[in-house]
Structure 1
Amino acid sequence: MSTADASLTAALVGNGIIATNHVRALARQGGVRVAVLVDPDSEARAKIASLIVAETGWPAPAQFDSLTAALAAGAPDLVIVATPSGTHVELALEALAAGAHVVIEKPLDTTVGKALPLARAAREASARGQIVSVISQHRFDPASVVVADAAHGGALGRVTSAVASVAWWRSQDYYDSGAWRGTWALDGGGSTMNQGVHTVDLLVWFLGRPVAVFAYAAALAHERIEVEDTLAATVRFANGAIAVLHTTTAAFPGLSVRVNVHGSKGSAQLDRDQLEYFYAEPAEGTDPAVLGDTHVDPTRVGPRNLASGLVPAEHLAGGPVPDDAFVQGHSRQYDDIVGAIREGRAPKVGVDDALRSLAVVRALYVSASLGREVLVSEVLAGQYDDLVPDPAATQEPL
């Protein structure tokens, strides 16, 4: 496997909706071309192949109905796993065994028990120079980076709490569009695992190691699904911070994702992946003349919003949103992935990062099913691997 060429080759496994985003993100990034498509559905493969030819200038990709067949024809530099969630680990392990680097679309998989063998395999592969990264594109949003840097660097003081809401809408047709959607086995969950896992990941990134959760969950506005469409929870972190999390796919017509992070010396707010508010107390000893009117006494009239001086206009709440904003997030993460491959370093988001977020989501489901607080460490230790979540079990009858 050579990484010295100007363009790395990739096999895109899973040619559904999200595959389009990966193709466009890679075309924008410029360091990788999709040379192989893998999907048992020939029509799905043909659709993505047509997109590649029409939009990227790459040669028409080879097509296979299984990863095994594709690898037998020659391993690409990179295998991108964009299949239903419950198949991620199996395919990633096969790709690693063939010597390829691996990128996995979120989430890592559906259970911690399935994901732990991949975490071990990824560490072993790292010693051989292979990288494994899991898509967590919002860690690369400029607004999110500002908040993370402030939280980690002390600009917010002691981080005390966070409030996050994913208030989306998904129609019944969405869940009916694929037999795997809304199932525990292949979707791994509903509004939290599928739509909210990125927000869970941001909370973990901002606030640190999660310790315990308490959750309520239910399916309130959809039929023929096993999973939740609404969840509300609290999460405790090792540093003492407490977060409130809300996810739903039953908020018609669909609102924004909002994340507030609060500390003893500052606060920040994200809305639709843009920076809506930011304030951090000036460092001790800062000359007031240097600050001008950018800071005021918060005990009197409240602090000024400093967000506009921290990110470009398109990353400010209410600013112009590029047509390809969703693609840009993946493209920024691919910048890091390609850099990691070429430089022989670890990617910024690895399997262990994704495993922590997966463990939080699983802990939320266990808590909602058992009606009590659940320790994240218990989930990571495999204590609930065999539990099939049933949030309805703890709901009082109406």
Structure 2
Amino acid sequence: MTKKMRFAIVGAGVISPLHARAIVNHPEAELTAIVDEVQEKAEALAKEFGSPPIYATLEQMLKEGEVDAVCICVPSGLHRDVTVAAARAGKHVLCEKPLGITAKDMDEMIEACRSNGVKLATVFQKRTTEAALLTKKAVDEGKLGRLVLGDAYLKYYRSREYYKSAGWRGTWLLDGGGALMNQGVHGVDIIRWLMGDVESVFAYAAPLIHDIEVEDTAVAVLKYTSGAYGVIQGTTTVNPGQEARFEIHGEHGSIIYGDSGFKVWKTIDGDEAPGSSLKGAADGTDDPQAISSDGHYILVDDLIKAVRQNREPLISGEEARKSVDLILAIYESARTGREVRLKPGGAAL
């Protein structure tokens, strides 16, 4: 590998500028390729970020491009195909959320990267915020005692125009789901990361407002393997959208925070809520383009270090799939009207 890690971006849609900005701002990274079948989109992204070579197909880029790693910014249902092709070409992968939309897809992505000796990292930038890291530290140190409740409120708004802006949005085939799989997956990842694995779920989910195949509103009751309970509410129908909110309660204290900061911080040692600038917080409650690129920079940096230190990325494929497995279990419960149990650490039984 050259001194700088050379990145390609596959998919020049809404999320791609966050990857591009993170790459060009990193002293040990450079953007050396952009791939999109729509030439105008690729050209517009390239023009904004240093005019790297553009390619119409992934195959052409993997054959001709000078690339060490690939950022995957295509629709969720295509993550598997791009990841497997990149891995077989010996390229490391930074995949946008969700990792995949089926258990089979994720199995194949993880195996392709493992068998070809490349790193598979996933974008969950909400994990990089100061509030998330401080809360995780407090929970892991036992400052809340035994956890009893862990709730995530993920109340976003997306307009009808949003769903009409691209044919893949709101479809099972390429979006893989709706308010939970697309927007809410960040919060699902956070609550599972903070509270630990989930034992079972019971859920309702449906398109209540939007004319789409998938859910725009979902509620789920969770039982964690620790014995704690929780709820997840995910929607794109709340107008105006609300900041994501996470509530963690234990026998010795409570922590509640949102994108704007801590609401409650009470722990057994009586300390005050840490002062938090929340640099890197991801907003986008109403507008998906209003998301900071700070978290993407941290994850680009982590992938570079993971490659050079030969360690697992901060959010590996195995770790990233847990939120998708939980969402798939929620969908199964909503479809069948039954409680769904999950395997230890993962997919529905």
Residue of structure 1 equivalent to 2:109? 118
Taking the aligned partners of 2:100 and 2:171, their CA distance within structure 1 comes to 13
Q: Does 1:355 align with 2:321?
A: yes
* Residue 174 to residue 76, structure 1, CA distance change in 2 (3 Å): same
Provide the aligned C-alpha RMSD in A: 2.1
Q: Does 1:148 align with 2:136?
A: yes
Q: Percent identity?
A: 34
Q: Secondary structure at the match of 1:106?
A: coil
Q: Does 1:25 align with 2:22?
A: yes
* Residue 312 to residue 382, structure 1, CA distance change in 2 (3 Å): closer
Confirm or deny: 8 A CA contact 2:217 2:234 kept in the other structure: yes
* Residue 264 to residue 123, structure 1, CA distance change in 2 (3 Å): farther
Confirm or deny: 8 A CA contact 1:75 1:98 kept in the other structure: no
Q: Does 1:367 align with 2:336?
A: no
Confirm or deny: 8 A CA contact 2:152 2:245 kept in the other structure: yes
Q: Secondary structure at the match of 2:44?
A: helix
Q: Secondary structure at the match of 1:308?
A: coil
Q: Which amino acid aligns with 2:81?
A: E
Once the two structures are TM-superposed, the CA of residue 218 in structure 1 deviates from its matched residue by 1.4
Residue of structure 2 equivalent to 1:70? 61
Residue of structure 2 equivalent to 1:263? 250
Residue of structure 1 equivalent to 2:273? 307
Deviation readout 1:24-79 (Å, 9 max, x if unpaired): 122333322211001111111011011103xxxxxx21111111110111451101
Deviation readout 1:309-336 (Å, 9 max, x if unpaired): 4x347589xxxxxx99711111122222
Once the two structures are TM-superposed, the CA of residue 228 in structure 1 deviates from its matched residue by 0.6
Confirm or deny: 8 A CA contact 1:37 1:45 kept in the other structure: yes
Residue of structure 2 equivalent to 1:280? 267
Residue of structure 2 equivalent to 1:13? 10
Taking the aligned partners of 1:313 and 1:83, their CA distance within structure 2 comes to 28
Taking the aligned partners of 1:247 and 1:259, their CA distance within structure 2 comes to 12
Taking the aligned partners of 2:253 and 2:305, their CA distance within structure 1 comes to 33
Q: Secondary structure at the match of 2:338?
A: coil
Q: Secondary structure at the match of 1:196?
A: helix
User: How does the TM-score come out when normalised to structure 1?
Assistant: 0.82
Deviation readout 1:332-367 (Å, 9 max, x if unpaired): 222222211222211111001111111000111110
Taking the aligned partners of 2:169 and 2:273, their CA distance within structure 1 comes to 38
Deviation readout 1:108-146 (Å, 9 max, x if unpaired): 111112111222233334xx3x21101111111111001
Taking the aligned partners of 2:36 and 2:280, their CA distance within structure 1 comes to 35
Given candidates 71, 78, 82, the residue that maps to 1:87 is: 78
Asked which structure has the greater CA Rg, the reply is 1
Once the two structures are TM-superposed, the CA of residue 276 in structure 1 deviates from its matched residue by 3.0
Deviation readout 1:161-207 (Å, 9 max, x if unpaired): 11211111100000000110000010011100000001000011101
Residue of structure 2 equivalent to 1:333? 299
Confirm or deny: 8 A CA contact 1:131 1:341 kept in the other structure: yes
**Count of matched residue positions in the alignment of Structure 1 and Structure 2:** 342
Query: Which residues of structure 2 form unaligned runs of 5+?
Result: 282-288
Residue of structure 1 equivalent to 2:168? 180
Confirm or deny: 8 A CA contact 1:34 1:61 kept in the other structure: yes
* Residue 172 to residue 246, structure 1, CA distance change in 2 (3 Å): same
Confirm or deny: 8 A CA contact 1:275 1:315 kept in the other structure: no
* Residue 218 to residue 263, structure 1, CA distance change in 2 (3 Å): same
Taking the aligned partners of 1:75 and 1:98, their CA distance within structure 2 comes to 12
* Residue 97 to residue 75, structure 1, CA distance change in 2 (3 Å): farther
